[in-house]
Structure 1
């Protein structure tokens, strides 16, 4: 992978919070490399991968799915036009505005910075949907001097809201 992407360990936590059902419409706002959409697509009726500019990596990764729609548009504009059941917001620009208009049953905002996580939690509280923030810290093993050591991944705040 060459672009920015949500690590599979974090996607597992996101999936456990969003708990999609087979009839759900899923939206990945700020889809980046398409890794989150790729994970969710087999479990939902329809998946939208939304970004201002869809990367070549995302296009390649998602072309095998018949139920995935790639949309080059702003997340706020998407949420004004569409009504997904479960939403993942992976970018940080405009998070509060998106949460203000988002009416999904469940929503997760991933944030690398605590300020963004707190801002998302504050907006979710205002809307009465805030449930929790989960801080995901993971490390992966690698070979070192004939043994194994661990390299930490960047921690991620998973901010979860539910109606």
Structure 2
């Protein structure tokens, strides 16, 4: 697993359109980077992962308005209330979207594989929430023979769904 890049988190937060009175769920929180950034904008942040090490590490760095859960994403989504959801892990996204689409105002999933992104779009359409998909390509500079060159990072598909108000 790889962590969400800072630049992608910036785009994610803009697209998430956070409100100070809302609750954010970070499903598949891994390093906690998304949760930490979200905690600056949301009233409450839930960080959820099935990896014990990830949960232990996020517990150490969490901010005051964060709660960390060691449980499956779909179980968390059934049990708790939230306004906006970020899905960073792709296991069981079908079940997670079924549940979250009934409760969340906005759901964003980041994935690295085209087929997975396509399946998430299909599922979001099925539950009536698909809004758009972004393909995010980021290149970072490095020095090469005294000049600047760019190294491309893996592209990310950001699939966005929201309830039509």
- Give the aligned partner of residue 99 of structure 2: 101
- Residue 116 in 1 paired to residue 131 in 2? no
Cα offset for 1:20?
Answer: 1.0
Deviation readout 1:101-137 (Å, 9 max, x if unpaired)? 1021000000100111111111110111100110000
- Give the aligned partner of residue 149 of structure 2: 149
In structure 1, what is the Cα distance between the partners aligned to 2:45 and 2:22?
9
- Give the aligned partner of residue 130 of structure 1: 130
Alignment counterpart, residue 41 of structure 1, candidates 26, 34, 39: 39
- Give the aligned partner of residue 86 of structure 2: 88
Cα offset for 1:21?
Answer: 0.2
In structure 1, what is the Cα distance between the partners aligned to 2:14 and 2:122?
22
- Residue 4 in 1 paired to residue 6 in 2? no
**3-state secondary structure, aligned to 2:20:** coil
Q: 5+ unaligned residues in a row in structure 1: which ranges?
A: none
In structure 2, what is the Cα distance between the partners aligned to 1:83 and 1:119?
25
- TM-score if structure 1 supplies the norm length? 0.93
Cα offset for 1:152?
Answer: 0.6
In structure 1, what is the Cα distance between the partners aligned to 2:24 and 2:92?
19
- TM-score if structure 2 supplies the norm length? 0.92
In structure 2, what is the Cα distance between the partners aligned to 1:19 and 1:76?
23
Q: CA RMSD in A?
A: 1.2
Deviation readout 1:41-63 (Å, 9 max, x if unpaired)? 0111100000012424423332x
Cα offset for 1:12?
Answer: 1.3
